[in-house]
């Protein structure tokens, strides 16, 4: 969410980033839980639109990758 404001971050954005980094540092012993559901099918979904919105004509793209029901990676631009 914070990465949407990389071009011109405000002080609130910097404060949020610092808060996230402090949380990550304080919880190094914790990890992500991926449920066991007896299937490990890898799914990759991708979509792109070269014209995008008719008003600004910007292109859009997105993808996500999952293993079973567990989201591994995603991006939307």
User: pLDDT tens digit string along 22-76?
Assistant: 988 888 787 766 666 666 788 888 887 776 666 777 777 888 888 877 788 888 8
pLDDT at 71: 81
End-to-end CA distance of the chain: 12
In Å, what is the CA distance from 33 to each residue of 40, 42, 50, 73?
15, 17, 36, 14
Name the phi and psi angles at 36, rounded to 5. Answer: -95, 115
Q: Across-strand partners of 65?
A: 44, 73
Cα gap 66→63, rounded to integer Å: 10
């Amino acid at each position: 969410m914070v990465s949407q404001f990389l071009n011109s971050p405000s002080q609130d954005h910097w404060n949020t980033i610092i808060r996230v980094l402090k949380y990550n540092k304080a919880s190094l012993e914790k990890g992500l839980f991926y449920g066991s559901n007896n299937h490990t099918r890898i799914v990759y979904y991708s979509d792109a639109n070269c014209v995008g919105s008719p008003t600004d004509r910007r292109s859009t793209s997105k993808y996500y990758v999952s293993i079973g029901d567990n989201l591994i990676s995603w991006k939307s631009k």
